[in-house]
């Protein structure tokens, strides 16, 4: 089997260290030309790729503004002529308990994670749409999917990325564009000191194969969420229970309260692929 990304062009944001660096290095080893984006110092990663015989250019633009996102995509176009894949990896943390979280810390995290992924992916999507091919990967987190103490801002941004992923997947389907989300579990500079050391032995390199599959031509999955870490790979699902059907006029508050066990029962739960699917499910049960 040849190199999976031969003649492909990939953008990795936040690629100066940690998971982003690992993604960029392996993409280059697999034949991709890589835009290594980081507001810090991406040059070292570019040099590593060049030393291994790969192709890469640095981008210092911030994902946090529309102009920065456009500049990152333009860097790929100027250097390599196109863009085939984007890994939206850039991230920061500003952890505070909900009661103490201030607006500046909320906005900073939303700017980099949620708005940043939008700013980069939208111009990339337009290029991909014209070409009839593209792969977008959004980096979510278990904090967003399941919640985590002291990370209300981070969790909100990361769950917002799930909604973005699923909608882009729906809109990109007829243009040969897939969009998926990955929730990495890895010991990186951003997670250093968190989780009481529970992921200290979860190496970043174990996340890389799943991430690269999701931006490869071989990937047929779209609109999905995957957890990856410590050598374990799993699909995360969003489902809805069959619920309780009142079958008449709007029920009373007491009626809803009395049926909460039935409303919450997992038996027969399904996983809608879109809002339309969920509406159809509700109608089919009425």
Count other Cβ atoms within 10 Å, centred on residue 279: 11
Element (H, E) at 58: strand 55-59
Q: Which one, of 276, 213, 252, lies nearest residue 23 by Cα?
A: 213
- Whole-number Å distance between alpha carbons of 144 and 157: 7
Planar angle of CA 244, 264, 233, nearest 5 degrees: 130
Whether the CB-CB separation of 200 and 230 falls below 8 Å is answered with no
Task: Compute the half-sphere exposure of residue 163: CA atoms within 13 Å on the CB side of its CA.
Answer: 10
Strand partners, 56: 34
Please, what is the end-to-end C-alpha distance for the chain in angstroms?
52
- Whole-number Å distance between alpha carbons of 37 and 21: 10
- Whole-number Å distance between alpha carbons of 136 and 216: 10
**Among residues 23, 133, 154, 233, which one is catalytic?**
154
| 154 assigned to active site | yes
Helix, strand, coil abundance in the chain, percent, nearest 5: 45, 15, 40
Residues comprising the chain, all counted: 286
Quick one: angle between helices 116-131 and 152-172, nearest 10?
A: 10
Catalytic residues: 154
């Amino acid at each position: 089997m040849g190199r999976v990304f031969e003649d492909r062009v990939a953008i990795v944001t936040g690629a100066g260290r940690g998971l982003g660096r690992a993604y960029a290095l392996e993409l280059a080893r697999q034949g991709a030309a890589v835009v290594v984006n980081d507001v810090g110092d991406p040059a070292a990663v570019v040099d590593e790729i060049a030393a291994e015989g790969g192709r890469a250019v640095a981008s210092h633009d911030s994902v946090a503004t529309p102009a920065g996102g456009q500049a990152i995509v333009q860097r790929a176009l100027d250097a390599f002529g196109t863009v085939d894949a984007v890994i939206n990896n850039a991230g920061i943390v500003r952890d505070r308990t909900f009661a103490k979280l201030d607006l500046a810390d909320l906005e900073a995290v939303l700017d980099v994670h949620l708005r940043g992924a939008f700013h980069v992916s939208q111009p990339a999507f337009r290029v991909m749409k014209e070409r009839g091919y593209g792969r977008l990967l959004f980096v979510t987190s278990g904090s967003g999917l399941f919640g985590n103490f002291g990370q209300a801002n981070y969790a909100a941004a990361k769950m917002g990325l799930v909604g973005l992923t699923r909608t882009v997947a729906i809109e990109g389907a007829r243009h040969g564009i897939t969009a998926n989300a990955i929730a990495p579990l890895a010991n990186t500079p951003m997670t250093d000191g968190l989780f009481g050391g529970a992921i200290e032995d979860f190496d970043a390199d174990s996340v890389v194969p799943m991430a690269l599959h999701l931006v490869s031509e071989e990937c047929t999955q779209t609109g999905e969420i995957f957890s990856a870490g410590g050598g374990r790979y799993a699909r995360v699902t969003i489902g809805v229970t069959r619920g309780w059907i009142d079958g008449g006029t709007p029920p009373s508050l007491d009626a809803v309260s009395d049926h909460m066990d039935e409303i919450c029962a997992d038996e027969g739960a399904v996983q809608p692929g879109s809002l339309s699917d969920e509406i159809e499910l509700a109608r089919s049960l009425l």
